[in-house]
Amino acid sequence: MNHAHLIDRRTLLLATGTAGASALTHAAAGAAPPPPRGVVATRHVGAVEVMCLLDAAGPFGLGTPDEAFPDATDADWAAARAVDPEAFTADGQWHLNFQCFVITGPGSRVTLVDTGVGPAGSPASGWAPVPGRLPQALADIGIEVSDVDLVVQTHLHSDHVGWAVHPNGDPVFPRARYVVQHTEVAALEAAGSALVPYVVEPLRATGQLHEVHGRTQLAGGHGRTRHRVTAVPTPGHTPGHQSLVVSDGATDIVVTGDVLVHAVQLVNPDVSYAFEDDDARARGTRRKLLHRARRRGALLATAHLNRPFVNVV
């Protein structure tokens, strides 16, 4: 990773989320009333609510779909179009969302997963559709930045950490603990990434950075509470990438981060993405995540698909 350029291909790696399987279906839209302003979609695991918030949307700025997924076949693209047709623009580009997820449950604990592209002047400003609107999307559903207790960063790419701190270094969420895998931080520091002084050092200075090692239960699982929120390592896209599993023992929602970045990886998890840190490891992680999700009937909550909640069948 080039320390001198915020638009370095690895620093700016688009993380779209993804898992693939032989066949997919979208969670049914049903006849539910429209979601509140700021909310793309909402799903539940028992008493726990998982809400998808849209920070920004726009075209992929680092190449064409064929360049991003060079080994995808015509059959892969046709299957992907059936899953996420909005990803395919009339001029042959890849349109994607930049989504974050809010998890609320008993006791009104507020967990935010990923922090989007951020404001003008954020590290993603050179290529992503900034400014994002995450703080306003939270306000639209009655959540102030001071209400957020926990921020889980699936990884530290610029389109996932934009609202972690303000450009001046002040944390956007002043009361939150920011959870990231130690492996992720160590890899960025070893690479001399510009995201270290931008986001890691400010959060470390305020005591809000919480580095975890491997699988870590973050909430639930005590007393009569049946639900659990667990951080699970899913490396490959980045060395310390993690996903989040929200479960009540019978139902799971897996917030995938960038394990999946496009529906083409849902329909064929072996399709490579040009911007992975470790392509072979990323493909292995994707297969494993999708296999487990299929076996448990889990719902996937994805970062970049235009239809964020999908089932693997």
Question: Which domains, from first to last, does the chain contain?
Answer: 24-312 (3.60.15.10)
- The two tokens of residue 159 are 């389109």
Which contiguous run of DSSP H or E holds residue 43? strand 39-45
pLDDT at 21: 31
Distance in angstroms (rounded) separating the CA atoms of residues 159 and 125: 9
pLDDT at 25: 33
Block means of pLDDT (10 residues each) for the chain, length 313 residues? 27 30 34 61 94 95 93 97 96 96 86 97 91 96 96 98 96 98 98 97 98 94 76 98 95 97 97 96 98 96 96 79
pLDDT at 163: 98
pLDDT at 39: 81
Which strands form 39-45's sheet, in the order they lie side by side? 39-45, 48-59, 95-104, 110-113, 150-152, 177-181, 209-212
For residue 128, report the phi and psi dihedrals to the nearest 5 degrees.
-100, 160
Question: Any idea how long the chain is?
Answer: 313
Distance in angstroms (rounded) separating the CA atoms of residues 232 and 246: 11
Whether omega before 131 lies within 30 degrees of 0, making that bond cis, reads: yes
pLDDT at 36: 56
CB–CB of 136/146 below 8 Å?
A: no
pLDDT at 220: 81
Distance in angstroms (rounded) separating the CA atoms of residues 48 and 41: 14
For residue 137, report the phi and psi dihedrals to the nearest 5 degrees.
-60, -40
CA distances from 295 to 148, 252, 309 (A): 33, 11, 17
Q: 242: which strand partners?
A: 233
Which strands form 242-247's sheet, in the order they lie side by side? 24-26, 309-312, 299-302, 252-257, 242-247, 228-233, 216-220
